[in-house]
Structure 1
Amino acid sequence: MSTPKPVTKPHYLRIRDFILDGIRNRSFAPGARIPPEVELARQFGVSRMTVNKAVRDLAEAGVLLRYAGDGTYVAERKAESPLLDVNNIAEEIASRGHGYRADVGFVREEAASEEVALRLGLAVGAPVYHSLIVHYEDDCAIQIEDRYVSPQWAPDYLAQQFERETPNAYLMRTCPLSDVEHTVEAILPDADSQRLLGLAASEPCLRVLRRTWSGKHLVSFARLLHPGNRYKLRSQTRVRK
């Protein structure tokens, strides 16, 4: 009985896997240029047409970006968050295999402005807890969280160490979420937001206005600001037949 011949992977798949492995181990970092097709053809001992097929497939999948007369680059992958869910941003970032940290601007009590009072169902001037936190993914700012919380439903909010636990995680633990309301809009950042996110005035942002309830209690109102060039929001709905 003859021994079956080993299955040989097509050359273009070998080249594709080589590029993907380089991206995974960060030999080819986001924004980096990959070796020219002529060099890859010489390295793998194949025709340039074979290399072109592998590169073209990865470009069509959004993994690579090709620029005529310049070269081929690793696409910058945007952080992604499900729009209709309320997830812990620290866990989201960890799930992507990246490092997370938070820069807490302040956590304080103040009088509710007219807008905040309306959003939280309070009287104007009523005490509210206010926190401002910038969330980072691998030292890149991807969200400003500007949150107001009703003291009645989260009385220990001011005592929390939000460098260690996000407000979302704390509120989910102490005031389990039952309902959420989202509004999403594209805006240009103000001067403070530009500074915190490291953006130019002309770079657009996605702003999510979010209110959350625990049972019948309106607990929190948050403004979440994301750089449009680093972040995207995803929504998936199942249509019942």
Structure 2
Amino acid sequence: MAKSESLYLKVKTYILDGIRQGSWTAGERVPSENELCDLCKVSRMTARRALQELLNEGTLVRIKGKGSFVAEEKQQSSLIQIRSIAAEIKEQGFDHHAELIICQKQSANAAIAKALEVENGCGVGHSQILHFQDDHPIQLELRWVNLQAVPEYCEQDFVLETPSEYLSSIAPVTEAEHLVEAIIGSMRVRSLLKVSEDEAILSLERKTWCHDQLISYAKLYHPGNRYRLGSKFKTG
């Protein structure tokens, strides 16, 4: 291994060991390039490379004008199993609560009618809910529901029970379709999720069926720096 490679890994290991040992916890600033030069006896270029790689890996986040900080642990969701956001948050050891923005019957426009496979202008249930992980907004849920299949959707209290929990009890999911992408997002979405101008939003579009009937179409938005999607499966 070249000397430059060895020094760069030395700096990276120094920071990672400090995080593991609790010297710097989530949200705390790690040493700057200049401080790392003195602490690890390396050049500024070497210190910069180590910090940049940790930023790229998501271990650190950079705040302009302030430095590099230990990233918050990302909430993880599964792409295989359809589960309640409340259950996912609680399993990670956090508290969940929700703010109901809208829950009402509306006429489906052309885009929603196509997504739900209903007639244009047909009455559908529509809800908008902001989910929190402790005090941090972690998901903005926009959902449209086929009222022919779930006629009492708009009468539910989705502060006490998530739409996912309610729908799974009424029309259990037998098929699902996902589309995941990183987006900039509208000003409203960014404001509700408290996402800064230089952060991406993780968008998940999901359709769910119960047997041959399409039940729900949802757009789920998450802060890209606090949420991730993952899955594990086994065959044979």
Which category of TM-score, normalised to the shorter sequence, fits these structures? 0.7 to 0.9
1:63-212 paired onto structure 2 within 5 Å: 74-212=70-208
Q: Could you tell me whether the CA contact under 8 Å between 2:96 and 2:134 is conserved in 1?
A: yes
Match of 1:220 among 216, 222, 232: 216
Give the drift of 1:216.
Answer: 1.2
Q: Does 2:229 correspond to 1:229?
A: no
- Give the fraction of aligned pairs with identical amino acids, expressed as a percent: 37
Give the structure with higher Rg (CA).
1
Q: Number of aligned pairs?
A: 198
Q: Does 2:234 correspond to 1:238?
A: yes
Q: Unmatched 5+ residue regions in structure 2? A: 1-15, 32-39, 41-53
Letter of the structure 1 residue corresponding to residue 231 of structure 2: S
Q: TM-score, normalised by structure 1?
A: 0.72
* RMSD value, Cα: 3.0
In structure 2, C-alpha distance between the alignment counterparts of 1:173 and 1:144, rounded to whole Å:
22
Residue in 2 that maps onto 1:52: none
Give the drift of 1:22.
Answer: 5.2
In structure 1, C-alpha distance between the alignment counterparts of 2:61 and 2:178, rounded to whole Å:
36
Q: In 2 relative to 1, CA 188–216 (structure 1 residues): closer, same or farther, beyond 3 Å?
A: same
Q: In 2 relative to 1, CA 221–90 (structure 1 residues): closer, same or farther, beyond 3 Å?
A: same
In structure 2, C-alpha distance between the alignment counterparts of 1:120 and 1:63, rounded to whole Å:
36
